[in-house]
């Protein structure tokens, strides 16, 4: 019975003649999923991201020790059955700190993406649709931000705002939005000349309605792909700020700060800085692989 239901659902999803908008939408998503899962590297990236989410959600159950509690009698212990990744200079379990550090990493990434995604999309859509002096003004502002390397500009903003995780998020967000605006502008300049956009103008639709209802949805696939790729860069920028002492402040278990704390023992007690660095590499790789898969599936070109 279940096989029959599954076959019927499959046929309903891949139907070439959908009977409703809902069926067409679900069918498109199902076809994209079928294409996505044929890419093993993309599936591996999705697995890494899902694992990151699960570790962050169940960190108190996974971590065997308190990530902040100090145990000076257990300083700089090598990896063992008790402390899987060893301990740091204050006797804190490195594995537990990496596990709880996933929460800080996700908070930074999600807050930055939620902030810069809509803002960059709005700037790019308005610039590309209106053109003229509006386009020149908004794109010259965008060029000013693009002229500086992201980390250098983030350092400047954090130096002005002061160290701390909140200020680091603000600094990263301020320096991350220009590529989103560029992508949205390029998409909008193609979309605005389509026949259906002209039909909406002839029907009397306002510019705001056209941008919100018809331009923005068409820009979303490219923005989603760009967001996935940018997550790796956001993680590296946040880790760089933490390494310099301008991001999350001690005793918070932030991966960049953990690498900074272990750099003095890198040759003798290699595990202090190595395992947080491996965590950053794996997570950044996961988001990049996921972005590659989404690009292949969602980019019509």
Predicted confidence band of residue 212 (pLDDT cuts 50, 70, 90): confident
Q: Which residues of 2-34 are buried (b: 16+ CB within 10 A; e: fewer)?
A: eeeeeeeeeeebeeeebeeeeeeeebeeeeeee
Per-residue model confidence as pLDDT tens digits over 214-254: 888 888 888 888 888 888 888 888 888 888 888 888 888 88
Q: Which residues of 199-214 are buried (b: 16+ CB within 10 A; e: fewer)?
A: ebeeeeeeeeebbeeb
Burial class (CB in 10 A: 0-12, 13-18, 19+), 79: middle
Per-residue model confidence as pLDDT tens digits over 72-92: 888 888 999 988 999 998 889
Per-residue model confidence as pLDDT tens digits over 49-58: 999 999 999 9
Domain annotation for the chain: domains and CATH numbers? 50-298 (1.10.3720.10)
The neighbouring-strand residues paired with 87 are: 93
Distance CA 259, CA 195 (A): 54
């Amino acid at each position: 019975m279940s096989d029959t239901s599954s076959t019927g659902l499959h046929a309903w999803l891949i139907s070439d003649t959908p009977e409703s908008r809902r069926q067409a939408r679900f069918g498109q998503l199902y076809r994209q999923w079928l294409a996505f899962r044929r890419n093993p590297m993309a599936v591996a990236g999705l697995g890494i991201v899902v694992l990151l989410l699960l570790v962050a959600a169940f960190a108190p159950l996974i971590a065997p020790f308190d990530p902040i509690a100090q145990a000076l009698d257990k300083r700089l212990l090598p990896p063992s059955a008790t402390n899987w990744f060893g301990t740091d200079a204050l006797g804190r379990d490195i594995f537990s700190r990496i596990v709880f550090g996933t929460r800080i990493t996700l908070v930074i990434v999600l807050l930055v993406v939620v902030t810069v995604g809509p803002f960059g999309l709005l700037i790019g859509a308005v610039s590309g649709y209106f053109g003229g002096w509006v386009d020149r003004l908004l794109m010259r502002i965008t060029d000013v931000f693009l002229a500086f390397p992201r980390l250098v500009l983030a350092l400047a903003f954090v130096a002005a705002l002061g160290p701390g995780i909140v200020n680091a998020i603000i600094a990263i967000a301020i320096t991350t939005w220009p590529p989103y605006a560029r992508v949205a502008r390029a998409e909008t300049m193609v979309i605005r000349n389509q026949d259906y956009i002209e039909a909406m103008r002839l029907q009397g639709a306002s510019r705001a309605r056209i941008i919100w209802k018809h331009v923005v949805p068409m820009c979303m696939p490219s923005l989603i792909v760009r967001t996935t790729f940018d997550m790796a860069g956001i993680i590296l920028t946040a880790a760089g700020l933490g390494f310099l002492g301008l991001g999350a402040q001690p005793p918070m278990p932030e991966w960049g700060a953990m690498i900074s704390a272990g750099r003095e023992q890198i040759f003798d007690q290699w595990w202090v800085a190595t395992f947080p660095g491996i965590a950053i590499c794996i997570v950044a790789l996961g988001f990049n692989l996921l972005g590659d898969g989404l690009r292949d599936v969602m980019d019509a070109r």
